[in-house]
Structure 1
Amino acid sequence: MLTHLTLINFALADHLALDIDKGFNVLTGETGAGKSLLLDALSACLGERTDTNYVRYGSDKADVTATFSYQEASAEEQWLKEHELDDESGEIHLRRVIFATGRSKAWINGRPSSLSELKELGRLLVQLYSQHSQQQLLEPPYPKHWLDRYCNFYEPAQAVRNAYSKWQKDIRQHQAALDAQATRKQRIETLELQLEELEELVQIDYKEIEQEFDRLSHHEHIMQDCGYGLAALDDAEQNINQELSSILKRIESHSGRSEQLSEIYNSLLNAQSELDDATANLRQFIDRQSFDPERMEELNTHLELFHRLARKYRTQPENLKQEYESWQTELEQLHQLEDPETLAEQVEVSYQDFITKAEYLDQIRREAATPLAKQLTEQVKQLALPEAHFEFKFEPLEQASSEGLSFIQLLFTANKGIPAQPLARVASGGELSRIALVMQVMNAEKTESEVLVFDEIDVGISGGTAEIVGRLLAGLAEHVQILCITHQAQVAAQSDQHLLVKKRQTDPASSTIFALEEDDRIQELARMTGGIEINETTLQHAKQLRQLKFQH
């Protein structure tokens, strides 16, 4: 869960450190006080996009840190271990620094991190629901996605997408085989001729025979120069080896008198050993050399063939072997390429696999739809919609897709005796906001995230409806941590921790956030229900709202 937030020069906050409790946390404050401050900071730590407006006026950077605790064997612990970011503290520290230039940097547990890693980990930690979520209800795919998410149909839905992708791939391969059928035979014949022409030649290493031919071409000069070298080293009357031996004797007699002379003597001794080896190798090389005119002619023939075929295939002689191997691979692939009839059979097999998986997905969706619609109906009825009724409508698609066999609509009616119609067509703005709220709460019940953030999702409700929303969130907070921005006193009264955002008239202006004690909570609830003028009546009403929290 989220345990701590630190904001430094972030928007209206100059320096703000805030502890967050478990359970149901609400955030309230007057309009313009900066209620979005905390959520913006949290979003920045979760890798969301930022801009220079987040940097406090007059500062060169904003610095935000969010601290989370986590359970053993949780998804986030596994993620940390996979990325070697776990530490002994048993906490997750997410830090984001935003510079006035527009750049930003991020850290996870003190180590530099990419924004994609922040987002990946953030999705495991926090789920965010906003007041704009009601617009999602109007998008055609939403009912299907909501049904799959609530009923945990991710795996069968993904299996259908994978099977559809395989089917489409097989269709493309079949078509490619049909297109290539005419030219395939001709290409195979061409490759076989080219391979036959190069088959013997590529057994020879071009670089080796080129070097050998060069050596034979310069045999006389090589032998002359090597003979001169051997004579100078060992055979001449005044040779290098004898001179070096004489020098060694003279230096050796004095090497004990100077450390530097001793080092020089050792160096010369090593040089003598190297010269002896070189002399022996040179003598051996000379003894083994012989000029073979027939071999030279053979090499010349090979080289001419290499150059002729290199010109023919427009490559370098040393690359002919690589070309040969490439043609071999292409020929093997052409021979392995199944004919169109075989591929047509594979298309049918993959189609049947897709249809089997899609029919299963359609079946479990239909079976789950009725009880889920009934559950949604009962939940929404509590929010001042006593005659609400929902049902899912499945319409077969003209052409199956990666999403399944049916187009799924959510139908709704708020009035008894009137048939349910598509939600987008009949629901008013107020009804949409309440329906979105319930669907989000139901989704939140199924999430694996330990932190749920609700950003003004109770807009458009009031009175008893808001009280019921507060109870829904309070009940949900028994299992997960909730952070909720709200304008409704009935919702705020149900919270475990009440955070107040207050603007201070500093220069430049700043905002602060702090947790309220019980007496201050009553004052804030009274302000939320009664406005600027707080009297005994509004205070009494605020106390009653708080008492409702402990009665349920």
Structure 2
Amino acid sequence: MLTRLNLQNFTLARDVALDLHAGFTVLTGETGAGKSILLDGLSACLGERMDAQSVRFGADKADITAQFDLHKSTAARAWLSERELLDIDDEFEVRLRRVILAEGRSKAWINGTPTSLAELRELGDLLVQLHGQHSQQQLLKAEYPMHWLDTAAQLQSQADAVRTDYKEWQTLVKQQQRALLEREALLARQDVLNAQIEDVQPLLQYDYAELEQEHDRLSHFEGMMQDSAALLEGLDEGEDNLLSKLGSLLRRAQAQSGRAESLAAVATGLESAQTELQEAVSTLRQFADEQVLDPERFAQVDECLGEFHRLARKYRTTPESLKQDFESWSRELETLDGLADSDSLQLKVTQAEQTYQASALALDQARKKAVIPLIEQLTTQIKPLALPEARFEFEFAPVVASANGLSQIRLLFSANRGIPLQPLAKVASGGELSRIALVMQVMIAAYAEAPVLVFDEVDVGISGGTAEVVGRLLRNLGEQVQVLCITHQPQVAAQGHQHVLVEKQQGEQAASSLRELTQDQRISELARMSGGVEINEATLSHARSLLQSV
């Protein structure tokens, strides 16, 4: 519940502090006194957008603080705990603060921790429920009868489950549709990979580098053999060959090697050179003897290399990379072959649809069962509000499956005997809508998570005995949750557990103030509200009777 509200330099309030009690609190005052200040300040603390005009003229900022008791607000405590925003000194209390600067910017805090307006609004939905002067307009929205029915019959969790089942079903349907489109692309990709693998597979038995080397040798066979013969001629077979000359020189070096270390080293070097040349000659002879030109092999190698280059151009790669590409294609094809088939996805879609249909049908049946006692309760409570012949009925029209279930729900109404029921929006007057909206709000208020309910002049257009009935409705509601109500009706104001008067002082600069009234002060205020230019004994007596009737 809201326990305290502080307003500093907020619109007409210079420095206002108000302590609020449990039960039904009424706010009254002359027209223009600023009765909406409290609600506007509360709205600011709950994250509503405010502009620079909210700052009192001449001040640099407005500072508003709202303090709540959380003993009956388990959802709000859980929200705060999840975000580590609970007050370490008192976990059953939360302070919301909003500072609005004269240039229009604002800052916000939850228990002293800076926060965003989005978080304030999120927490505010768990703390306060606001019903304004035009709340009856929501009755005209197509979805309201269904939402009201679910709240009044406490079917919200069942309705949420249906919405979840519907969402999961539709998600799977979209996945299936996407999978079908992707499957066509997948099959086309598989065909491409199979073709590529089939193209390259015959080349896997060859090593491109070795083929290239062999092709180079075969294509230069004649020159290679000529050079080999010339090498043998110069090294060993010619008349003036290198080995003969080296042998003669080696003998001279060996003859003098005993006389000088340098000559001995020369002799050793020449011996090594002679050995290496002899090995080179032996290798050349063996190579020349083994070489035979094979035109068919050359053609085969040439053709194979040509295929390497053709496929490399086709698949935009290099001949050396074709084997690696083949392995990559094979892995991708294996992955695609292992993807889930469409049959298993279709099974999931079918199962999700069956789950949704079952939960939606159960919700539809629960709603139809719940409307009977709710219609009786709604009719019983609306008749004393100057609608003695009022009748209601919920119409269920089958629709294609939706997140809200299997039926479109409309509220039908007739205010007069013998007149057929018709959609509420078509036949109800503004005054009738206002009274119906109030009763419907009262009926569901006890089920709302928010423990604070605010009614802003919802009793406009009613008076006398009807206003007294409305006051009693709100007072009874105040026994379950905290109710704040701005009213111009003395019959409603008399029903309050707490009465707050809003006054405006016209000094140098106008200022509004709020104060809780004593019993005697309430009598004077109710007398003023009852009418008449002057308060006399008759109006005072009427005011006393209103309080005594509570």
**Is the shorter-chain TM-score for this pair beyond 0.5, marking a shared fold?**
yes
SS of residue matched to 1:495: coil
Judged with a 3 Å threshold, the aligned counterparts in structure 2 of structure 1 residues 505 and 330 are, in CA distance, closer, same or farther, namely farther
Aligned position for 1:393: 395
Aligned residues: 434
* Aligned positions of 1:433-512 closer than 5 A: 433-512=434-513
- CA-CA distance at 1:312 after TM superposition: 4.6
Aligned position for 1:354: 356
The alignment status of 1:43 with 2:54, answered yes or no, reads no
- CA-CA distance at 1:476 after TM superposition: 1.1
Aligned position for 1:364: 366
Tell me the distance in 1 between the aligned counterparts of 2:129 and 2:328: 54
Tell me the distance in 1 between the aligned counterparts of 2:429 and 2:72: 45
Judged with a 3 Å threshold, the aligned counterparts in structure 2 of structure 1 residues 189 and 377 are, in CA distance, closer, same or farther, namely same
- CA-CA distance at 1:169 after TM superposition: 2.3
* Aligned positions of 1:537-552 closer than 5 A: 537-549=538-550
Judged with a 3 Å threshold, the aligned counterparts in structure 2 of structure 1 residues 370 and 543 are, in CA distance, closer, same or farther, namely same
Judged with a 3 Å threshold, the aligned counterparts in structure 2 of structure 1 residues 185 and 102 are, in CA distance, closer, same or farther, namely same
- CA-CA distance at 1:18 after TM superposition: 1.1
The root-mean-square deviation of aligned C-alpha atoms, in Å, is 2.9
Asked if structure 2 preserves the Cα contact closer than 8 Å seen for 1:188 and 1:331, the reply is no
Judged with a 3 Å threshold, the aligned counterparts in structure 2 of structure 1 residues 522 and 159 are, in CA distance, closer, same or farther, namely same
Asked if structure 1 preserves the Cα contact closer than 8 Å seen for 2:73 and 2:451, the reply is no
Q: Deviations over 1:319-341 (max 9, x none)?
A: x99xx9999689636632322x4
* Aligned positions of 1:74-223 closer than 5 A: 74-87=74-87, 88-89=89-90, 90-190=92-192
Judged with a 3 Å threshold, the aligned counterparts in structure 2 of structure 1 residues 336 and 460 are, in CA distance, closer, same or farther, namely same
* Aligned positions of 1:282-293 closer than 5 A: none
Tell me the distance in 2 between the aligned counterparts of 1:411 and 1:499: 39
Tell me the distance in 2 between the aligned counterparts of 1:49 and 1:130: 17
SS of residue matched to 2:137: helix
- CA-CA distance at 1:379 after TM superposition: 0.7
Judged with a 3 Å threshold, the aligned counterparts in structure 2 of structure 1 residues 466 and 176 are, in CA distance, closer, same or farther, namely same
SS of residue matched to 2:66: strand
Q: Deviations over 1:79-132 (max 9, x none)?
A: 222111122134211000011222111001111111122112111111111121
Tell me the distance in 2 between the aligned counterparts of 1:128 and 1:333: 57
SS of residue matched to 1:446: coil
Judged with a 3 Å threshold, the aligned counterparts in structure 2 of structure 1 residues 428 and 330 are, in CA distance, closer, same or farther, namely farther
Tell me the distance in 2 between the aligned counterparts of 1:134 and 1:183: 54
Judged with a 3 Å threshold, the aligned counterparts in structure 2 of structure 1 residues 334 and 6 are, in CA distance, closer, same or farther, namely farther
Aligned position for 1:16: 16
Q: Deviations over 1:346-381 (max 9, x none)?
A: 332222221111111110010001111111010101
Tell me the distance in 2 between the aligned counterparts of 1:371 and 1:114: 43
- CA-CA distance at 1:182 after TM superposition: 3.1
- CA-CA distance at 1:15 after TM superposition: 0.8
- CA-CA distance at 1:163 after TM superposition: 1.9
Give the unaligned 5+ runs of structure 1: 198-307
Tell me the distance in 1 between the aligned counterparts of 2:461 and 2:341: 63
* Aligned positions of 1:407-446 closer than 5 A: 407-446=408-447
Q: Deviations over 1:395-426 (max 9, x none)?
A: 111x2211111111111111122221111111
Identity of aligned residues (%): 56
SS of residue matched to 2:142: coil
Asked if structure 1 preserves the Cα contact closer than 8 Å seen for 2:5 and 2:65, the reply is yes
Tell me the distance in 1 between the aligned counterparts of 2:331 and 2:546: 82
- CA-CA distance at 1:508 after TM superposition: 2.3
Asked if structure 1 preserves the Cα contact closer than 8 Å seen for 2:26 and 2:493, the reply is yes
The alignment status of 1:520 with 2:547, answered yes or no, reads no
Asked if structure 2 preserves the Cα contact closer than 8 Å seen for 1:191 and 1:331, the reply is no
- CA-CA distance at 1:180 after TM superposition: 3.2
Tell me the distance in 2 between the aligned counterparts of 1:327 and 1:72: 65
SS of residue matched to 1:406: strand
Aligned position for 1:52: 52
- CA-CA distance at 1:465 after TM superposition: 0.6
Letter in 2 for 1:60: D
Moved more, 527-536 or 69-78: 69-78
Letter in 2 for 1:129: H
Tell me the distance in 1 between the aligned counterparts of 2:29 and 2:413: 35
SS of residue matched to 2:434: helix
Asked if structure 2 preserves the Cα contact closer than 8 Å seen for 1:29 and 1:501, the reply is yes
Scaled by the length of structure 2, what TM-score is found?
A: 0.74
Tell me the distance in 2 between the aligned counterparts of 1:502 and 1:328: 82
Tell me the distance in 1 between the aligned counterparts of 2:105 and 2:197: 57
Judged with a 3 Å threshold, the aligned counterparts in structure 2 of structure 1 residues 333 and 365 are, in CA distance, closer, same or farther, namely farther
Aligned position for 2:294: none
Asked if structure 2 preserves the Cα contact closer than 8 Å seen for 1:452 and 1:482, the reply is yes
Asked if structure 2 preserves the Cα contact closer than 8 Å seen for 1:26 and 1:495, the reply is yes
Aligned position for 1:383: 385
Judged with a 3 Å threshold, the aligned counterparts in structure 2 of structure 1 residues 149 and 327 are, in CA distance, closer, same or farther, namely farther
SS of residue matched to 2:363: helix
Judged with a 3 Å threshold, the aligned counterparts in structure 2 of structure 1 residues 499 and 73 are, in CA distance, closer, same or farther, namely closer
Tell me the distance in 1 between the aligned counterparts of 2:330 and 2:158: 43
Letter in 2 for 1:9: N
Judged with a 3 Å threshold, the aligned counterparts in structure 2 of structure 1 residues 499 and 331 are, in CA distance, closer, same or farther, namely farther
Q: Deviations over 1:512-546 (max 9, x none)?
A: 11111111111111111114321111111111101
Judged with a 3 Å threshold, the aligned counterparts in structure 2 of structure 1 residues 313 and 161 are, in CA distance, closer, same or farther, namely farther
- CA-CA distance at 1:507 after TM superposition: 2.6
Tell me the distance in 1 between the aligned counterparts of 2:409 and 2:333: 47
Q: Deviations over 1:135-168 (max 9, x none)?
A: 0111111100100111121222122222222222
Asked if structure 2 preserves the Cα contact closer than 8 Å seen for 1:161 and 1:403, the reply is yes
Asked if structure 2 preserves the Cα contact closer than 8 Å seen for 1:374 and 1:391, the reply is no
Asked if structure 2 preserves the Cα contact closer than 8 Å seen for 1:184 and 1:334, the reply is no
SS of residue matched to 1:336: coil
